[in-house]
Structure 1
Amino acid sequence: MEHNIDIDDDLANQLSFPSSTTQKVLSRIAQIKLVSGHPEVYEPCDDSFALVDALLADRINLLEHRPTVCMEVGCGSGYVITSLAIMLGQEGDGHHYFATDINPHAVRVTHETLKAHGVHAEVICDNVASGLERRLEGMVDVMVVNPPYVPTPEDEVGIHGIAAAWAGGENGRTVIDKILPIADKLLSERGWLYMVTLTANNPFQICGIMRDKGYASRIVVQRSTEEESLHVIKFWRDAVVQGEGKEPTSTNKAPSASVMNSLLSQLPWLPFWNSGS
């Protein structure tokens, strides 16, 4: 499968001449393997790799951010939360990791993926992260989400089996729209959210919804494959946005020019990293 990838000169130099620490991180992530699996657990694919590439693209900022609590919602195979833990370090470095998935088979596979690569996270069988809302309210510094985003009939959302990993309902937004308010509740004042979206999800509209909650946004990675066009968007609380005092907008309202400009101010794309690349 071909990927449309663009790398600016500065980023190309970083990848061509990485520091020894960066080189080790990239090598460990590239070598992540699934040590177990299950027919009903979503294996890493283009969207998973795009999300990890977004974290790699923002790694310097993440290290400077020094997050204490990190979380993945919908961990599936454990590839993303394992990658994040490898990038940032372990509990001894002051980091605590949580991962949730509604699929008990995914919880088991994630446990085994983490263990096989020498990292740890508390993995919980939960619908989105509703069971952690009270425990972690306002504490999550980094949240990563690869939600079910594929447009499907509504009756396929949340069904048992692997289809639940991608069935997103009308416009692929049913699960995304449930995640956004939970993310807002869990994120700390300095919390960052990284979310995978599809063009059909209307990412501009999603950014408009989050802007009404006081978040700025930026596309970190954009990737087109033969099957879909993906955007990994980073959200963070922004004092300027919060100070605008906007009234909540309808979800059908077109995004403002400021939202459009924010999205068009993109970080460079990173290449496709996985054990086979």
Structure 2
Amino acid sequence: MFRLPGVYRPQGDTRLLCEALKESGIRGARALDVCTGTGRVALAAALNGAARVTAVDVSWRAVLTARANALLRGVRIRVHQGDLFTPVRKEKFDVITVNPPYVPAMKGMPSRHGRERAWDAGPAGRATVDRICDQAPRLLASGGVLLMVHSALCGVEMTLGALRDAGMKASVLLRHEEPFGPVMRGRARELASSGFIRPGQDWEELVVIRAERA
């Protein structure tokens, strides 16, 4: 898959989200993929029968990458540049997929620039996840579904609680133990000292949370 420098490389979390998307059945759906990166999940939505696919990323490099990959695969995807749901705030969708930044940033709030913004998510790893829990339900049509992947390190129960408080029916759809990649390996000592992981731990549990709007 084509990828410009600095764009998040599809990894285990991307594969898990694509699996959840396929299991959910989206034929004929209006699909939105936020934090799209290379557009891998948006492509999966299009190839699995979504009627209309829209993708959003804050990075212009990611936007260009996603557009190029859609062109190379011969599928029609609208790709917007912007912060989370801002470019599509007046629209409604049947399915929303998100692979947000979720790695705790030991030095404080996430950077607004550079490749680190693809994973840095504030001291608790929830700077973007909490915003998604607040904003995503407003864009879902009746019966619409949100599929979001993140590490268990940033609080599965907190995410479920936030979505339920927003009136959603939320549960964990998939779980998978993933070996640490380069970013997590580089932060393992700091994560252990902060209590996020055990000393010597070299894996994390990834979860896909499914939330449905009644």
In the superposition, the TM-score normalised over structure 2's length comes to 0.84
2:103 match: 150
CA distance in 2, matches of 1:70, 1:103: 20
TM-aligned CA deviation for residue 225 of structure 1: 1.6
* Higher Cα radius of gyration: 1
Q: Which SS does the other structure have where 2:18 is aligned?
A: helix
Whether the aligned pair in 1 keeps the contact of 2:134 and 2:162 (CA below 8 Å) is: no
Q: Does 1:72 find its partner at 2:69?
A: no
**Higher relative CO (CA 8 A, sep ≥ 6), structure 1 or 2?**
1
Whether the aligned pair in 2 keeps the contact of 1:54 and 1:221 (CA below 8 Å) is: yes
**In the TM superposition, what are the counterparts of 1:260-275 in structure 2 within 5 Å?**
none
Higher strand residue share: 2
1:229 match: 205
- 2:86 aligned to 116, 130, 138, which one? 130
Q: Which SS does the other structure have where 1:229 is aligned?
A: strand
1:72-131 CA distance string (max 9 Å, x none): 001101111001110115xxxxx1111000000000000011111111111000011213
1:242 match: none
Alignment size in residue pairs: 191
Whether the aligned pair in 1 keeps the contact of 2:140 and 2:213 (CA below 8 Å) is: no
Whether the aligned pair in 2 keeps the contact of 1:156 and 1:164 (CA below 8 Å) is: no
* Stretches (4+) displaced over 6 A: none
Identity %: 28
For the aligned residues, what is the CA RMSD? 1.5
In the superposition, the TM-score normalised over structure 1's length comes to 0.66
Q: Which SS does the other structure have where 1:169 is aligned?
A: coil
CA distance in 2, matches of 1:178, 1:108: 25
1:48 match: 14
**In the TM superposition, what are the counterparts of 1:164-179 in structure 2 within 5 Å?**
164-179=117-132
Q: Which SS does the other structure have where 1:174 is aligned?
A: coil
Q: Which SS does the other structure have where 2:37 is aligned?
A: coil
Whether the aligned pair in 2 keeps the contact of 1:107 and 1:123 (CA below 8 Å) is: yes
1:19 match: none
Whether the aligned pair in 1 keeps the contact of 2:8 and 2:38 (CA below 8 Å) is: yes
**In the TM superposition, what are the counterparts of 1:159-238 in structure 2 within 5 Å?**
159-227=112-180, 228-238=204-214
Deviates more, 1:187-196 or 1:150-159: 150-159
Whether the aligned pair in 2 keeps the contact of 1:156 and 1:163 (CA below 8 Å) is: no
2:190 match: none
Letter paired with 2:73: H
Structure 1's 190 and 158: CA in aligned 2 closer, same or farther, altered over 3 A? Answer: farther
Whether the aligned pair in 2 keeps the contact of 1:216 and 1:236 (CA below 8 Å) is: yes
Letter paired with 2:19: D
Letter paired with 1:58: S
Letter paired with 1:150: V
Q: Which SS does the other structure have where 2:21 is aligned?
A: helix
CA distance in 2, matches of 1:50, 1:125: 24
Whether the aligned pair in 1 keeps the contact of 2:130 and 2:162 (CA below 8 Å) is: no
- In structure 2, the gaps of 5 or more residues are 181-203
CA distance in 2, matches of 1:198, 1:109: 25
